[in-house]
Amino acid sequence: MLHAATNSSSLAFYSASRRYRQHSRQFFSTQIHETMELMPNGQLRFATYDLQGILMPSANAVISAAGKPGKCMWCHESKALTLFQEQDDVPGYLTAQEFVERVALTNEELTEIRNALSTDLVFANQSDHTLSELLYISFMEPSLHIT
């Protein structure tokens, strides 16, 4: 469960909560805090903090099913991602639809900000995405097998 609180695309904050059931009641307990910051060059910086505010070296696999963001930085680090699977609405939290709408608005704001920047990286150029994927695959997942 992600609870979002943001007042601009320059800083978004999400709390990942885990669902617990006790005596036919369910409740949520915040486990981590995830942040997303827009850097001056238009790229996003992500960080995960524990409940004491200490920066975590990586996401907790029990809470987050996040994969390898380096494998596809275009998708995982160029925009805010929406839901990957259906999610039940829970009172006191954003509904799934509200979350999807919030993410869409954040991405629209990111596009507007980036379009006003003068940098070498053009986020709208989808061929850059393909080329970076091919570059990654060439080095990190070679297909030549010597027998």
> Which helix (H) or strand (E) is 104 found in, with range?
helix 96-115
In a domain, 129, yes or no: yes
Report the Cα 136 to chain-centroid distance in Å: 20
In a domain, 34, yes or no: yes
Judge whether residue 88 has pLDDT over 90: no
In a domain, 146, yes or no: no
Cβ-based neighbour number of residue 24 at 10 Å: 5
Task: Report pLDDT digits (tens) over 8-25.
Answer: 444 455 555 666 666 667
- pTM of the entire predicted model: 0.64
Taking residues 49-67, report their average pLDDT: 75
Q: What are phi and psi of 145, to 5 degrees?
A: -120, 120
Give the residue with greater pLDDT, 61 vs 14: 61
State how far the Cα of 108 lies from the Cα of 106, in Å rounded to an integer: 5
In a domain, 66, yes or no: yes
pLDDT of residue 82: 82
Taking residues 60-68, report their average pLDDT: 63
Task: Report pLDDT digits (tens) over 111-134.
Answer: 898 888 888 777 778 787 778 778
> Which helix (H) or strand (E) is 127 found in, with range?
helix 126-140
Residue 126 domain boundaries: 2-140
In a domain, 33, yes or no: yes
In a domain, 145, yes or no: no
Cβ-based neighbour number of residue 102 at 10 Å: 17
The strand order across the sheet containing 44-49 reads: 2-8, 11-22, 25-38, 44-49
pLDDT of residue 29: 74
Q: How many domains does the chain have?
A: 1
pLDDT of residue 101: 92
State how far the Cα of 113 lies from the Cα of 9, in Å rounded to an integer: 9
